[in-house]
Each structure stands twice: as C-alpha cells, then as structure tokens.
Amino acid sequence: MLDSVKNEKLRVWVEEMVQLCEPARVYLCNGSEQEYRELSSELINSGTFIHLNEKKRPNSFLARSNPSDVARVEKKTFIASEKKEDVGPTNNWCDPAEMTVKMHTLFKGCMKGRTMYVIPFSMGPLGSPMAKIGVEITDSAYVVCNMRIMTRMGQEVLDILQEGDFVPCMHSVGKPLAMGQKDDSWPCNPENTCIAHFPKKRSIWSFGSGYGGNALLGKKCFALRIASVMAREEKWLAEHMLIIGVTNPEGKKRYIAASFPSACGKTNMAMLQSPLPGWKIECVGDDIAWMKFGKDGRLYAINPEAGFFGVAPGTSMKSNPNAMRTCAENAIFTNVGLTEEGDIWWEGMTDKPPARLTSWLGEAWTPESQKSAAHPNSRFTAPADQCPVIDPAWEDPEGVPISAIIFGGRRSSVVPLVYEALGWNHGVFVGASLSSEMTAAAEGVVGNLRHDPFAMLPFCGYNMGDYFAHWLAIGRSANAEKLPRIYSVNWFLKSAEGKYLWPGFGDNMRVIKWICEGLEGKDNKIKSSIGYLPKMDSFDTSGLNLSKDTLKALFDINKEGWLKESEEMRTYLSQFKERLPREIIDELNSLQNRLR
C-alpha cells in the first residue's frame, strides 16, 4: 500500500508509527468519494454514525460522542519547546524529550485491532504558494471523514508533496481493541488525553480524544499553533480569523478579516446576509486566516480550510440561513438531537422545538426535559463550497487583499459597539487587550471573563509576548498606507436589566458598512480617548427603532470602567515580563493619559 508513496520521509515515518502503534491494518487515504462512502458505511455499522433521512438530509450523518469528550481540552494541550520561556505564561509547557517519551508510552500498541489511516492533506488551496502540507495518522474513521470535508485531502496532495516537507500529525483515540472485543461507538480515552505540539520539529501528537480541534489536527493544532511558529519565522501571520468579501452599492469590493474567540459568532458573521440594500457579504473563511504580504505591499489572506466546523446551537434560518443551507447535505453532525423523522435538531434551530426527539446523549427528549437536546458545543461539519455565499475568490492561490482587521469579544459592558484604532501599534494593543466571556467551545466556566489576546490564547504556539512583537514587526515592515486598518467590535453589550442592546446578526452589517465607508474616505469618525468612534449621523440605524438611550449606551465610554480595565490590563501584561514589547506599554500609558 505504501509503495505508491514516493516521499521518503513519509514512508519512514509511517513505518515507524506502524511499529509503535501496532495497528491491525494500514490504509492510505485517497480522498475519493467512493472511499468516503465506504468509510461512512463502516461507521454506520460500528454505530458511530447514524444515517440521517436521505430525503431530508442527503448523504449526512449524526455522531454522538462520549459525554466526556465534547470540546477542546486546554489543560491537556501542551507546547513542547526547549525552553519554558519560549511558550510563555499563557501556554502549558512541557519538556520535548519528556513529552516524546510520554507520547511513545501512550502510543505503544494503541492501535491494536484498529485500522491506521494515513491522511495526506493540504491547508490552503492545492498548490497555492501559501498552502502547507500535513499528513495525519489516525485510528478514527470519523476523523478521516471530517478531514475530507475540512481539508483538501488524498492522492492529489501526495502528487504535490513529492519529496517536499510536511507536518506529521499523529492521532489516536487511545483505545486499543483486544481480539474479539466489541468497539465503543465513540472510542476515546479521556483520562489520558494529551495533545502536544513540537514547534522545532513541527510535529503534533494527540492522544485520547476524537473531538474537534483535539482530533482534526489540520485545524487548531497545525493551522494555528504550528503555523503561528512558522509564520513568525517566515514573516507572515497565522490567525484565528474569519475572512469576508464586502461589496458596497457602487460595486466596490473590500476584504475584511475578523478575530473572535471560539463560539462568538464567527460563522454567523462570515455568512451574514445584509439587510441593507445594495450591500453584499461573501464568505472566504469562518475560522482561520493565513496572511502574507503580496508583491504590491498589501496583506493577502487565504482560508487554509475547505469546510466549516460550526457551532450548531443557535444556528437557524433566522440567525444564519446560509449556514443552514451549507449543511443541508453532505454534512456530519456531532452531538445534536435526532428527530423522529431521522433529521437533526438543536436549540434555537426553530421557534417551536419538536415534540419528541433523541438527545445527543441518546436519551428520549421532550421540550420539558431538563437537559438540552444538543450539547452546547455540538457542531456541523460541512463543505465550504456548499455555502451559497462562498466568495468567488475563496480558492484564489494568491489570497485576497485585506483592507481591515476586526477584533471582537463577548463583552456585556465597557467595550462599545465599534471603534477604530488610531494606528497599527494601537491596533496591536487593541488585539492584545481582547477579552471575552467564556463559551462552551473549551472546558471551563461558561460566562467567566478571560483575557484572550487576538482570540489566540489557546492557539498561539509560542510566547504571547513575542507574538505581540511579531505583529508590531509586521507593521514596521510595511508601508503604513497599505496596512489594513484595525477595529474593535462588541455585539454583546447588555443593559442593566441584562438585555442585549444591539440586535446583532444581520444588523452587524451596519458596523461593516461604517467601516467600509471610512475606508473609501468618508469623513465619518471622531477621535475619542479610546480610538475613532462613528459620527452619529454617519452610522446607519435606519429602521432599527433604537431609543436614544440605547444608541448612547452602544457608544458610551465609561471612563471609570476603562481606567479600571486598563489597570487590570497592566497587571495581565506584566506576566510577559521582558518579552512584552515596550510599544504595548506605551500604548497602554497613552490610553490612560487620554482617559484622564
């Protein structure tokens, strides 16, 4: 089977891993439709996949995970750099030699009784100068099926790889099977879950979990943690950002990248349907952007992924019709409810829940049930090219030119609806200051406020202080006129009574409109202590029926709140010690001076 593999490094590595993991068989994935069909039937037979009603949801499947394997586990995610200082205070560090021993112990014989799948994949359009190749070895057919949607994978990638380099991504669910032992429908090993990244070797080892970013190693592990290290060395940016194309009524198109923590509505914004006549949004990507300077000195972005791994709950024909259409067929659903008709349902999908269904736990469920039908971090996996508003340039090998970068968090107070940074360095400070109320995308207490610089806290593969310095260096290396402008947004402000002040979803178009009009040179902003705010007569609230008080609250600068927060920010930043660039403290001091 491996005879067809020309790449020496790949052959040697796979052989070594076969020795280590002792699988019953090895299978090299070609990425074909037939292969997908065969693997999904196997998954149906083993009870991992439930085949959904072909008439309602063609070629689609439901998987229910083990209830203790439902999200990324940040506590068990490590960066194995030589020196602890190089991963910084916001990452879990481990010694590379010790972690190698630990992983070899965990992986020893871990694929007994299972198939070892070898998945060659490309992050980025095949053959794009910005694309990078990885190979994931896994013992999970569920992972193979998801990787086929999320990445370009199979034979074509091997053809491109030839003798070139790739990122080895080693994955196992960590549940060897004894002779004749019946398999679980979701094999995993939560007690021993461990995800380690080796930035120097540029390799990834993940054991024990089959879920999302723990197991689909092209995504957060490669395209963010390892790629951020590559990007720093090669002077580009690997970011947790969506990418959209925005066309104004005159037909002028701009591309915008936006960074939000997991489960803060990136997929909704990426597929937004404009309620404003003449304005149109198209989607290049919903989660990750790789950005590099083009020959013209502008920053160009590609989406390294080929599919969406979107949060299901809350997605509806009202909140995100394009996402609903994207997962209308050829999709995999994980941890959502199953209706009596053999279709899927989750909280928020319809106003009226079905009278009866089977919950993500496999239990009978009615609207009166105490537990939710879908897990809060349940997901749909769907091909990007099924998105009705996919951008015509989404697979452009050169990427799309970025005019603006947005940072957003989930904040019920303090941070206004939108403001523009005063310049690149201030924008880097704004990104560094990002904090957000926690969601179910990672383990932790939902709702707790946490700092999440650049929405990269769980995804930066090196010291966050050095990461800030890298962003500053990118700014210095460019022609300031050609750099994207930087903005902060917050869709989640609440009144004292706890009601959302801003309608959000499609109406976020109004904020994007204001940004785009400014980029076209419209005199639509005024300088404030925190940055440029919209001039009120240039911010479109037509038809929204917002009260004067609400509008005021959306753009209010609570000086005390800001001063308190900036002081807290100083404490937060102090943990980066000598790795914290001087410019960041300068920006913090300037902000405080402007506020006082």
User: Looking at the annotation, which residues are catalytic?
Assistant: 264
Map the footprint of ligand SAT across residues 303-332, applying CB under 6 A: 309
Considering CB distances under 5 to 8 angstroms, the limit depending on partner class, which of Mn ion, ligand SAT, none binds residue 518?
A: none
The reply on whether position 490 binds Mn ion by CB under 5 A is: no
Three-state SS for 116-148 is EEEEEEEECCCCCCCCEEEEEEECCHHHHHHHH
Give yes or no for residue 197 binding ligand SAT (CB under 6 A): no
- Told to check if 232 binds ligand SAT by CB under 6 A, we report no
Going residue by residue from 242 to 281, which x/- string records binding to Mn ion, judged by CB under 5 A? --------------------x-------------------
Q: What are phi and psi of 349, to 5 degrees?
A: -70, -40
Going by C-beta distance under 8 Å and a sequence separation of 6 or more, which residues neighbour residue 207? 103, 106, 107, 110, 171, 172, 174, 189, 192, 193, 194, 195
Q: Among 72, 114, 175, 510, which residue interacts with ligand SAT (rule: CB under 6 A)?
A: 72
Residues contacting 543, CB < 8 A, separation 6+: 275
The set of residues, in sequence order, having a beta carbon less than 8 Å from that of 442 and lying 6+ positions away, is 71, 72, 73, 74, 262, 458
Residues 294-323: x where in contact with Mn ion by CB under 5 A, - otherwise, as a string: ------------------------------
In terms of C-beta density within 10 A (0-12 exposed, 13-18 middle, 19 or more buried), how is residue 111 classed?
A: buried
Q: Provide, rounded to whole angstroms, the least separation between the CB of residue 37 and ligand SAT.
A: 25
Nearer residue to ligand SAT within complex by CB, 219 or 579? 219
Residue 176 or 213: the one with the smaller Cβ distance to ligand SAT is 213
Q: Within 10 A of 469 (CB to CB), how many other CB atoms are there?
A: 20
Give the span between the Cα atoms of 588 and 592, in whole angstroms: 6
Q: What share of the chain is helix, strand, coil (3-state, %, to 5)?
A: 30, 25, 45
Q: State the minimum distance, in angstroms, from the CB of residue 539 to Mn ion.
A: 29
Among 282, 286, 287, 452, binds Mn ion (CB under 5 A): 287
* 132-171 positions binding ligand SAT, by CB under 6 A: none
Residue 443: CB atoms within 10 A of its CB come to 14
Q: Which of 152, 220 has the CB closer to ligand SAT?
A: 220
Q: Which is nearer to ligand SAT, 437 or 565 (CB)?
A: 437
Q: Of residues 123, 137, 299, 441, which one binds ligand SAT by CB under 6 A?
A: 441
The interface partner of residue 285, options being Mn ion, ligand SAT, none and the CB cut-off 5 to 8 Å by kind, is none
Site string for ligand SAT, 204-223 (x = CB under 6 A): --------xx-----xx---
d(CA 244, CA 263): 18
Which residue's CB is nearer to ligand SAT, number 213 or number 506? 213
Q: Least CB distance from residue 263 to Mn ion, whole Å?
A: 8
Q: What angle do CA 227, 233, 234 make, to 5 degrees?
A: 85
Q: Does 378 bind Mn ion (CB under 5 A)?
A: no
Residue 194 sits at the vertex; the CA angle it makes with 191 and 200, to the nearest 5 degrees, is: 170
CA distances from 235 to 41, 86, 471, 473, 477 (A): 44, 18, 9, 9, 9
| Interacting residues with ligand SAT (CB under 6 A) | 72, 212-213, 219-220, 262, 309, 441
Contact residues for Mn ion, defined by CB under 5 A: 262, 287
